[in-house]
């Protein structure tokens, strides 16, 4: 299949369409507005739906209404916009509807900045919205991977009847890379007649469906949460994805890094290798479920002295890395979150400092 040179933001839109999602609701926000602009032109070409909502708050609920009728839907936004969508995300998770969200992360907190960041790790994996819910969170490291993850997101969302979130950053959104749209990732939508409000006539049924998240009876609400939790436990068993980089040899330090930051770390690792210094890396591709075991196994290698989480934030993923390592090795953090992407040399300096300790 031929490769096309595409900008990340546009590839996200095209990937959704190739995955059979013909419904896109969004609000402009830097640095992902190009997705909406691409979809505004492209959706009419495929007889799809494009709506620019009046705010991310409204968009979150347009997604909910459409998802609750059983249609594949996607929205894209960036950090402050995702904060606004977080209430809707909690509702969608509570109501067990499939939907796909993409967060092209930018600097925060508050208005923050418009340059890349990884400051929404907590927001994506530990909440953002209220209540006991989890999102299946995937973190691509480039345009090809974001295409694959967007295409996988729809069947995954349907498998678990849960929202799926893909976290990129401003760099991935803006960069242009050659992209191939794989054939084998398109999965037909599941039948949603058991729960969706797609009209009794559509289902040929006399029973109506209600999509809700309110359970006033405490036992009912507890049972409902147990149902949700069971899905998250299943995700932990079946959906952990990660890449192990240079972990075959005797590395002295284990880096844990994801997304754009992981590409910089790979360069640093390659550079240090030429100087005879072995560094290994685990790159989580799913932030939830998190590859706890893979990181722990990699951390306790005899040669490994220390673990460092390198992320464009003030230290969010590092807490999960500490949880993975369980005190078996010292865990530290390095990062920047103003929008500067740390350079390979900076990474190398941090790693060397750990080796020398």
Partner 1 sequence: MGKTFSKPEALSDAYTHYCPGCTHGIAHRLVAEVMDELGIRGRTVGIAPVGCAVLAYNYFTCDFQEAAHGRAPAMATGIKRVRPDLIVFTYQGDGDLASIGMGEIVHAANRGEKFTTIFINNAVYGMTGGQMAPTTMPGQRTTTSPMGRDVTTTGMPIKMCELLSTLETPGYIERQTLLNPKYIKKAKKALKRAFEYQIAGTCYSFVELVSICPTNWGRTPLESLQWAEKTLLPYYKLGEFKIPEEQ
Span near partner 1 by CB under 8 A; candidates 59-67, 133-141, 157-165, 280-288 = 59-67
Q: 337: helix, coil or strand?
A: coil
Nearer to partner 1, 21 or 156 (CB): 21
Cβ at position 51, least distance to partner 1 in Å: 6
Structure tokens at 346: 């900076």
Quote the longest CA-to-CA distance of the chain.
72
The answer to the question of residue 208 lying near partner 1 (CB under 8 A) is yes
Gyration radius of the chain over CA positions: 21
* Cα–Cα distance, 3 to 259 (Å, whole number): 22
The answer to the question of residue 193 lying near partner 1 (CB under 8 A) is no
The answer to the question of residue 64 lying near partner 1 (CB under 8 A) is yes
Cβ at position 60, least distance to partner 1 in Å: 8
Beta carbons within 8 Å of 233's beta carbon, 6+ residues apart: none
The answer to the question of residue 202 lying near partner 1 (CB under 8 A) is yes
Nearer to partner 1, 47 or 184 (CB): 47
Judged by CB under 8 A, which of 109, 131, 178, 199 binds partner 1? 199
Asked whether the beta carbons of 312 and 118 are under 8 A apart, the reply is yes
Nearer to partner 1, 65 or 315 (CB): 65
The answer to the question of residue 80 lying near partner 1 (CB under 8 A) is no
The answer to the question of residue 62 lying near partner 1 (CB under 8 A) is yes
175: how many CB neighbours lie within 10 A of its CB? 16
Distances (CA, A) of 192 to 107, 145, 159, 189, 267: 38, 28, 11, 9, 45
* Cα–Cα distance, 124 to 134 (Å, whole number): 8
Span near partner 1 by CB under 8 A; candidates 33-41, 61-69, 234-242, 263-271 = 61-69
Cβ at position 5, least distance to partner 1 in Å: 32
Span near partner 1 by CB under 8 A; candidates 195-203, 243-251, 257-265, 267-275 = 195-203
Q: Which of 172, 97, 108 is nearest to 139 (CA)?
A: 172
The answer to the question of residue 95 lying near partner 1 (CB under 8 A) is yes
Total residues contacting partner 1 (rule CB under 8 A)?
Answer: 39
Positions in 210-229 near partner 1 (CB under 8 A): 210-214
The answer to the question of residue 133 lying near partner 1 (CB under 8 A) is no
Judged by CB under 8 A, which of 5, 44, 46, 54 binds partner 1? 54
In our burial notation (b when 16+ CB lie closer than 10 A, e otherwise), range 135-153 reads: bbbbbbbbbbbbbbbbbbb
Distances (CA, A) of 77 to 102, 225, 312, 349: 6, 28, 18, 34
Structure tokens at 87: 């209430």
Nearer to partner 1, 73 or 341 (CB): 73
Phi, psi of 143 (to 5 degrees): -70, -40
Site residues for partner 1 per CB under 8 A: 23, 25, 49, 51, 53-55, 57-69, 71, 73, 87-88, 91, 95, 197-202, 208-214
């Amino acid at each position: 299949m031929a490769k096309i040179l595409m900008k990340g933001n546009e590839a996200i839109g095209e990937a959704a369409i190739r995955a059979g999602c013909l419904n896109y609701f969004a609000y402009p926000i830097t640095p992902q507005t190009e997705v909406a602009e691409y979809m505004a032109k492209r959706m009419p070409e495929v007889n799809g739906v494009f709506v620019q909502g009046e705010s991310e708050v409204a968009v979150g609920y347009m997604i909910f209404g459409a998802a609750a009728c059983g249609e594949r839907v996607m929205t894209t936004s960036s950090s402050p916009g995702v904060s606004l969508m977080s209430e809707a995300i909690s509702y969608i998770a509570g109501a067990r509807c499939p939907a796909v969200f993409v967060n092209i992360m930018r600097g925060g907190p508050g208005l923050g900045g418009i340059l890349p960041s990884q400051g929404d790790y907590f927001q994506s994996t530990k909440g953002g919205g209220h209540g006991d819910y989890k999102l299946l969170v995937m973190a691509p490291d480039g345009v090809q991977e974001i295409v694959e993850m967007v295409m996988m997101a729809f069947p995954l969302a349907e498998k678990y009847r849960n929202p799926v979130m893909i976290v990129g950053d401003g760099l991935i959104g803006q960069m242009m890379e050659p992209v191939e749209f794989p054939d084998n990732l398109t999965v037909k939508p599941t039948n949603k007649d058991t729960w969706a409000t797609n009209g009794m006539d559509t289902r040929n049924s006399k029973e109506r469906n209600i999509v809700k998240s309110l359970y006033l009876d405490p036992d009912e609400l507890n049972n409902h949460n147990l149902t949700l939790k069971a899905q998250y436990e299943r995700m932990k068993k079946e959906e952990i994805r990660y890449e192990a980089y240079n972990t075959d040899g005797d590395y002295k330090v284990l880096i844990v890094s994801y997304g754009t930051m992981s590409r910089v770390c790979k360069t640093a690792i390659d550079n240090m290798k030429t100087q005879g210094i072995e560094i290994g890396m685990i790159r989580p591709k799913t932030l939830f479920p998190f590859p706890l075991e893979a990181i722990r196994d990699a951390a306790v290698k005899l040669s490994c002295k220390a673990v460092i989480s390198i992320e464009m934030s003030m230290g969010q993923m590092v807490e999960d890395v500490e949880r993975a390592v369980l005190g078996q090795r010292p865990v530290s953090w390095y990062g920047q979150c103003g929008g500067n992407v740390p350079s390979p040399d900076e990474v190398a300096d941090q790693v060397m400092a750990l080796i020398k300790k």
